[in-house]
Structure 1
C-alpha cells in the first residue's frame, strides 16, 4: 500500500495558498506538515495559536487544580468515575472487532456461504472491520444481517452502505463515508451524494426492513433542517462538546494525554471534523443531516470521540506523515485503509446486507433457527439490558449447531459485570497489593508527574491528577478473573446449558476473553508503551467477552 500524503498546512480558502504535499513537520508540536520552510514561516501567524496553546504546554493543569477545588466528578472523597452523561451512541465506544476470524476458524477454503448477525450493531465499525478482513481466498457469498433498535443508528448505517454500494470511485466513496460517519459538517459533494434521487448499484444487495411508521422519517436523514447554517450547527454542537458545565470531565480526559494530543483533541471538540490536523477545512460548509436531522440538537454526549471505536494501537501504528503526533490524522488514515478494504471486498464478492430496526424479540421472529455462523450482540447480555438469560433465550437458537458448523460462535460482551460485582474489599486489595506490575504503574505515574511538572508524592488528595492516574492505572493492571467467576456464580451460568442448549467456549477463537488487559509485564520490551496507551483512553480492562456454541 502506498504511503499516504498529507497536504501542506499553508493552504487557503480562496485556493491561492500552497497545494503541495508536506515533507516536514513543526518541530514543536509535530501536528502539521509543510512542503518547506517558506510555507512554515508564512503559516506561523495562524499555527502559533495551536502550537503555543496552553494545552500543549507540559506544565498544563486541569481547571480544578488551578482553582484549588474538588472536580465535579468527585461525588465524594475517593469516588472517581470516568463517564459522561449518556446520550445517543452514533459512534462506537469500544474498539471494533473482526467478528469472523475466518482463517483461524473455518479456513479460507470454507466451501459454504457465511451468514453473520450483528443483533445490536450500533454503528458499522464491527461490520466494516469483519468484512474488510475476510481473506482474499474465500469466494463464497456472505450475508450480513444488521439490527439496532434506534432508527438514528439504522438510518445512518443504511446511508453509509448505500454510498459504499453506489459509488464508482472507491477513494471518493471512502472520503464521503468518513465524513458522513464522523464529521459534523460535510462538503457539498458529500451532500449531493446523500441527496441523489436514485440509488443504483449492481454490486452486492441491500434490504432495509422497517416498520411502516419509520419509512416517512428516513428523508430527514438526508435533508438539512430548513434554515440551519454551518455556523448555527457548530454552535449547537460546541454548546455540548465545550460546555462549561462539563469542563472538569473534559479535563479529566486530558490529564492522560500528551501535550500535542491535548491540542489535537481540543481541535476535534471545536470543529467536529475528522481530518488531519493541518488539512484544508474550507469546503466543509454543510451541516451533516445524518447528525443534525433534528434542528437544534447535537445528539451525542460531550465525551463522544471517533477514537473510541477503533484500536488505539492500530491507530497509532498508522501513518500521519511527518506529523507524528497527529492522532486524528492517523485515525483518518486508519479508517480510510479499513474502508478501502471493505469496499474492495463488497465489490469483488457476493456480499448482501439486511438491515432491521427492531427489538430483539421482534427481530428473531424474522430470522431462521440455526442459520448463523456468527452472532455478535454487543453488551446486550449485561444485567442493565437483557441479561444473559434473556439474551440466550432470544438469540441462542439462531446459531448454527456443531454438525452444521463446528466453528459457529455467539459473542457476548460484559461491560458492567466487573463494576457491578467488585466489592470494597476487591478494590482495597488491588490498591495495596504489591505485585511486580505495581512497579510499572509507579514508574509510569512518576514519569507523567515529572513530565507535567507535578511534585510526585504518594499521599496527595484524591483530586490530584496523579492520584487519579494511579486509580486508572490500578484498574488497568488488576486481574479480574476471580471477580468474573463470582459474577457467573451469582447470575447462574451453570444452568444456561440445560436451559438454552448453549455452552461457554473454554478456548476463544474469535475475540480474546480480556482483549484490553495489559499483556506485557514489568521489564518486558514495550511494557511501558503498552501501559501508557491503555491509560490514554477510557478504561477497558474490565470488559469481558464470552463466546458460546450450541450443544
Structure 2
C-alpha cells in the first residue's frame, strides 16, 4: 500500500490530475529508530525494523543515516509496498547505490533516477544493465544479492514486478513524447486555477524555481546545464509513456525544507533555488547512505504484498523493534483494527519497541473540528499578523493556505475521531497502548518531540514559517501516533 492521499475520500474536483500514483513521499522523512531517545546511539545490539507500507526510500535513508559511526550490531530492515512501481523503484535505488563502483557517480544516478524525468544516456545504460542483471537472477523465488561486503539484499517480489521492470526497460516512447506528457499534466488548462493558488503565496524567486522544475522535470540547480539529459526516466512513466505522478507531486514535500536550504547554502546554492538546494542535500544524504551500506551490517528484505497478508506470512517468531505503518491506519485504507491485530503482536518485548503511524485524512471525516472555521481562520490569521509570522508582502495570499491551521489546536477533535474508530479499546485488547510522550516523531509536524498532544507546531522565524506553511505541502492536520506494549 503506497503512501498516497485518500482518493476515495476526496471530491472529484479535489482529486490530483494525472495517473495519481504516489512515487514520492508527501511527508518529511523520519528516523524511526531515533536511538538518542530510545536504546542509545552506540552499542552492538541488533535491530529489527519494518516499513510495512514504505512508499519511497526516504525513511529508510534517514533511519540508516541516523545510526552512529561506531554501531556494530546488525540491522534487519523489512521493506514492503503493495504498489509494483514503488517496489521496483526502491529495489533499483538499492542496487544503483550498492553495485555501481564509483559512489559519487552512483549517487548522482540515484538522485536523478528518484526525482528527474530525464536522464543522461550513459546513466540510462547503467540502469538498464542493473535491470538486466536483476531479471536474469530471478527464477521464480526470492533473489538474494550481496549488495556490499556488509549489506545483503533479498527481493521477494511478485512476478508482476519483474514483468514491469522489463516493460519499462523495453518501452520505446521518445524524449519529445515524455516532455509533451509532462507539459500535458503539469500545465493542463483545466488545472490552471490550482497552479495559480500554488504559486500565488510564493516569493517571485520561488515561483521561478517551482516553474523551472515543473517545466524541465530535472532536479538540478536552476543554472545547471541539462543538454546531457536526453533519455526519459522510464521509471517515472508507464510503459506506454504516460506520466505516472499527479500534477501536484513535489519532491520538496518529502524533506525538511529549512534543513535542505541550509545544506544548499553550504554548497553555494542560494535559498531562492529550492530544487538546487534539494539536489545538494540529497547528494549528501545518499553519499552518507551509500557509505553506510559498505560499513554497517544490514540485511534488507524487500516485499511486494498487502500489509496484512505480509504480517500473516512471516515466521511465527518474527519480531520488530520498530514498525512503521505510514498512513494506512486511515479509514480510507486498511484501518486501525486490522493493522493493530496484524502488526501489534509483531512488536518485540523491548520497552523501546513501538509502532509508528500517522493520519492524513481524518479531517475529511471531522472537518468542522479538525481545522478552524471561517471565523476561526480569520482570528488565527490576525494573530499571526500581530506576531509577524506572516510576512506583510504575502498577507493576501494566506486565504489560499493551510498555514493558520498550524496554530489551531485540534487535539480534542482527533481524540474524538480515534474514539469513534475504537482505537484505545482495540489497543487494550491487544495489550498495547498509545504513548503520550513520543520518542520518534512529534504528535504534529514541527511540534516539540516530547510535547503533549495539544502542543502546536513551532516556527523559529518568519522565514521558517514561510518555508513550512507556504513552500511546504503540509495540511497541518496530520497527526502521528506511537504505540507500545503494556509492560
Query: Normalising to structure 1: TM-score of the pair?
Result: 0.76
Query: Is 1:491 the counterpart of 2:421 in the alignment?
Result: yes
Unaligned runs of 5+ in 1: 1-78, 451-455, 457-464
Q: Give the aligned partner of residue 442 of structure 2.
A: 512
Show the counterpart of 1:36: none
Q: Which has the larger radius of gyration?
A: 1
CA distance in 2, matches of 1:117, 1:176: 26
1:279 shift after superposition: 0.6
The match for 1:390 is: 338
Equivalent position SS for 2:363: helix
Q: Which residue of 1 aligns with 2:3?
A: none
Alpha-carbon deviations, 1:225-258, whole Å to 9, x = none?
12x2211111112110111111111111111211
CA distance in 2, matches of 1:425, 1:133: 33
Alpha carbons of structure 1 residues 323 and 314: separation in structure 2 relative to 1, 3 Å: closer
What is the SS of the residue equivalent to 1:331?
Answer: helix
Cα RMSD (Å)? 2.7
Aligned length: 451
CA distance in 2, matches of 1:240, 1:266: 13
Structure 2 matches for 1:227-246, cutoff 5 A?
Answer: 228-246=173-191
SS in 1 for 2:484: strand
Please show how residues 89-488 of structure 1 align to structure 2 within 5 Å: 89-196=22-129, 197-198=132-133, 201-203=147-149, 204-221=151-168, 223-226=169-172, 228-320=173-265, 321=268, 323-368=270-315, 369=317, 371-401=319-349, 405-423=350-368, 427-428=372-373, 431=376, 434=379, 438-440=383-385, 443-445=388-390, 447-449=392-394, 465-469=397-401, 472-488=402-418
Deviation at 1:423, TM superposition (A): 2.3
**C-alpha deviation, 1:189, in angstroms:** 2.1
For the residue of structure 2 that corresponds to 1:365, the secondary structure is: helix
1:337-391 deviation line (CA, Å, top 9, x unaligned): 1111111111111112111111112211332445111110110100111111111
| Alpha-carbon distance in structure 1 between the residues aligned to 2:338 and 2:52 | 14
Q: Deviations over 1:142-178 (max 9, x none)?
A: 1111100010110111111011110221111110000
> Does structure 2 conserve the Cα–Cα contact (< 8 Å) formed by 1:412 and 1:546?
yes
> Does the C-alpha gap of structure 1 residues 82 and 264 become closer, same or farther in structure 2, counting only changes over 3 Å?
farther
Tell me how far apart the structure 1 counterparts of residues 99 and 244 of structure 2 sit (CA, whole Å): 28
Contact 1:224–1:293 (Cα < 8 Å) also in 2: no
**Cα drift, residue 263 of structure 1:** 0.5
Aligned in 2, Cα 1:430/1:122: closer, same or farther, shift over 3 Å?
farther
Cross-structure match for 2:462:
528
Moved over 4 A (4+): 432-437, 441-446
Shift of the 525–145 alpha-carbon distance from structure 1 to 2, 3 Å rule, reads closer
- Separation (CA, whole Å) in 2 of partners of 1:298 and 1:441: 44
Residue from 74, 79, 84 that aligns with 2:16: 84
SS at match of 2:37: coil
Q: Displacement, 1:265?
A: 0.6
- List alignment gaps of at least 5 residues for structure 2: 1-10, 135-145, 450-454
8 Å Cα contact 2:74-2:297 kept in structure 1 = yes
C-alpha distance after superposition, 1:383-426 (max 9, x if no partner): 1111111111121111112xxx2111110111122342232797
Give the aligned partner of residue 476 of structure 2.
541
1:476 touches 1:539 (CA, 8 Å); kept in 2? no
SS of 1:216's partner is helix
User: How big is the shift at 1:479?
Assistant: 1.1
Secondary structure at the residue paired with 2:264?
coil
Question: Which of 420, 425, 431 is residue 501 of structure 1 equivalent to?
Answer: 431
Residues of 2 paired with 1:305 and 1:274: CA distance? 11
Q: Distance in 2 between matches of 1:322 and 1:339?
A: 18
1:82 Cα offset (Å):
7.2
| Whole-angstrom distance in 2 between the partners of 1:438 and 1:209 | 53
Structure having the higher helix fraction is 2
Q: Deviations over 1:31-72 (max 9, x none)?
A: xxxxxxxxxxxxxxxxxxxxxxxxxxxxxxxxxxxxxxxxxx
CA distance in 1, matches of 2:369, 2:100: 55
